[in-house]
Structure 1
Amino acid sequence: MDFVHAVLFAILQGATELFPVSSLGHAVVVPAVLHWGIDQHGPGFLPFLVMLHLGTAIGLIAYFYVEWLTMARGVLGLGYKAENASARALFAKLVVATIPAVIIGAAFKKPISHLFGTPLIACIFLIVNAGVLLLGERLRRREAHQNGISYRDALIIGLFQCLAFLPGISRSGAAIVGGLQRGISHAGAAKFSFLMGTPVILAAGVAEVPKLIHEHQLHALLGVSLVAAIVSGIVAYASTAFLMHYFKNHDDWALKPFAIYCAVAGAGSFLFLEAGL
């Protein structure tokens, strides 16, 4: 992978990981449509993507540093009593929301791993993602959620997040849809989704870094991967800032434009690839 493609991948990752359009789906489809000639089944492709996820996680931590600092102080008992209790409750809810992904990911990682590098299947699931977003908007609970996110809400959002194990289904989009079904606003669900996803994305990146360093065939990718990770983090920070503002101001229909985009992009890319263009 050359430097230009690596930077383009970083920009793509930094935006699509947070936007409800599936970063993995785009990472599979875009190189195929644009004929970048990248071996998506090669040993360096997945670790490179995970390095971009590492950059994205750092961008998220930078944006929500106040929340993470407050949670750290609360867990360590360094804040005021009420502040500690609230911070510990939020941390516990994030743990509860993460449990389904850990269990389901461990059970189904191998059976579905072969789908990750299949552009046509990713195109189909981009269309499915559009349906998930539209259905989520249509079936959302309209009554106001008065008491914040409960442990039950966190678990249900975590279960919805697991839809993203299918390439083309957005993790953030699925989590936001889960929040909407619990009567949580787009902005509230998005913030919880971004906080929930940060440790998972960070842990996956940290786990793959040794492969980039120690495996001979991946060593050459380390330098460009680090640059790409930085770019991804910057784009992720900007994307998060935009989305939090957007969701606060478009609570009635916020997911619909992304659903339309996914439907058009998925169908158009599928037809393009099938035609051999």
Structure 2
Amino acid sequence: MVEPSSLHLFLMAILQGVTELFPISSLGHSVLVPGMLHWSMNRDALWFLPFIVVLHLGTATALLLYFWRDWWKLLKGLWRAKGGAGNEDARLFWMLVVGTIPAGLIGLALHHQIRHLFGMFDLIAIFLVFNGLMLLIGDSLKRRHPVADLTSLTWGKAVVIGLAQSIALVPGMSRSGATLVAGLGAGLDYASTARYSFLLATPIITAAGILEVPKLLHHNIPGELLHVILLSGVLAGVFAWLSTWFLMRWFSGHEVSALRPYAIYCMLMGAFAILIG
């Protein structure tokens, strides 16, 4: 087994931690950046699946740590609701469940069919440009709709936001970007949309990692490479936490055009990748 460069794995971990939460497509960057920099990333190698699983678990852990107070509050609300007393926390918890199910089912159904897109560098670059256009649409929706918080979210809108996550199956399209745009379309303000998007991401990213964990037992990975992979997971988690910290403050401090910088970046990055591809 040809072992990959430790530096490249560490850089990929940082890239994953940042791009999973920023609305700029982690899958797209995991293909475009190694391709543009001519890194050796064999996606069929025995080490690659464990590496991706560990990165996802690191990101999910970061989200759980950052939002642990929110999850604790939601679980307490769910417990209180068992006594027959309805409350907003229990309602939000079940909306997150409802929003998670559709994307999870679509992901399981179409995951293998979409895998062949991972080798299409130019197509992924084009999708990244489309992702930028989607973010611009999100900003325009924010200006057209009345601003509300999560208490105004309906069950139908929760399903739509949850379905939007499935767009991330296409490399180049961002899960967080799609849910942010769907949330803005539902009339939520930037801060509420970001909070709901990141809470909604936690079970999806966690499930993506846990479902693959049993497969790790079948891979005989050398000890030194295993240590690098585990450290990569820690790096992904640290940068995911920092990204969440930054983005929550970014969306809380911007009333208009909060998605525009990321839209411009995606369109420029995609266009550049097309030119050199």
Work out whether residues 213 and 222 of structure 1, in 8 Å CA contact, stay in contact via their aligned partners in 2: no
Match of 1:3 in 2: 6
Decide whether aligned partners of structure 1 residues 218 and 133 sit closer, same or farther in structure 2, where only a CA change above 3 A counts: farther
* 1:216 match: 220
Matched with 1:71 is: 74
The AA in structure 1 aligned to 2:233 is: A
> Corresponding residue for 1:61?
64
Give yes or no for the alignment of 1:268 onto 2:275: no
The root-mean-square deviation of aligned C-alpha atoms, in Å, is 2.2
Q: Distance in 1 between matches of 2:213 and 2:71?
A: 23
The 8 Å contact of residues 212 and 218 in structure 1, kept in 2 or not, is answered as no
User: Contact 2:81–2:90 (CA<8 Å) still a contact in 1?
Assistant: no
Deviates more, 1:69-78 or 1:5-14: 69-78
Instruction: Indicate the residue corresponding to 1:121 in structure 2.
Output: 123
The whole-number CA distance in structure 1 between the counterparts of 2:263 and 2:45 is 31
Cα displacement string for residues 87-140 of structure 1 (whole angstroms, at most 9, x for unaligned residues): 221110001111221221122222211112432221111111011111222234
Sequence identity percentage = 45
Change (3 A) 1:267 1:196: same
Could you tell me which of 220, 242, 248 is aligned with 1:244?
Answer: 248
Residues 142, 128 of structure 1: alpha-carbon distance in 2 compared, 3 angstrom cutoff: same
- The 3 A distance-change label for structure 1 pair 123 and 46 is farther
CA contact (8 A) 2:81 2:87 kept: no
Give 5+ residue unaligned stretches, structure 2: none
| Equivalent residue for 2:238, pick from 209, 234, 240 | 234
Contact persistence 1:172–1:193 (CA under 8 A): yes
Candidates 132, 136, 139, aligned match of 1:137: 139
Task: Please give the alpha-carbon distance, in whole angstroms, between the structure 2 residues aligned to 1:168 and 1:41.
Answer: 20
Say if 2:181 is the partner of 1:177. yes
What SS does structure 2 have at the residue aligned with 1:19?
A: coil
Amino acid at match of 2:146: E
Shift of 1:209: 2.5
**Greater mean deviation of Cα atoms: 45-54 or 23-32:** 45-54
Displacement of 1:172 in angstroms is 0.3
Q: CA deviation at 1:81?
A: 7.9
1:138-192 CA-to-partner distances (Å, cap 9, x unmatched) read 2344212264322222111112222111111000000000001111011111111
Greater mean deviation of Cα atoms: 63-72 or 218-227: 218-227
Deviation at 1:261, TM superposition (A): 0.2
Q: Which residue of 2 aligns with 1:91?
A: 93
CA contact under 8 A between 2:46 and 2:219: conserved in structure 1? no
What is the aligned partner in structure 1 of residue 17 from structure 2? 14
Distance 1:257 1:218, change over 3 A: farther
Offset of 1:79 from its aligned partner?
10
Q: Give the match for residue 203 of structure 1.
A: 207
Question: What is the identity, as a one-letter code, of the residue corresponding to 2:218?
Answer: H
Alignment partners' CA distance in 1, 2:226 and 2:268: 35
Q: Does the CA contact (< 8 Å) of 1:74 and 1:88 recur in 2?
A: yes
Structure 1 counterpart of 2:52:
49
Distance of 2:267 and 2:253 partners within structure 1: 24
Q: Is the 8 A contact 2:17 2:236 kept in 1?
A: yes
Distance 1:149 1:130 in 2: 25
2:32 equivalent to 1:29: yes
Shift of residue 74, structure 1, vs aligned partner = 3.0
Shift in Å at residue 44 of structure 1? 3.1
How many residues of Structure 1 are paired with residues of Structure 2 in the alignment?
A: 272
State the secondary structure of the residue aligned to 1:168: coil
| Letter of the 1:65 counterpart | W
Structure 1 residues 267, 10: closer, same or farther in 2, change over 3 A? same
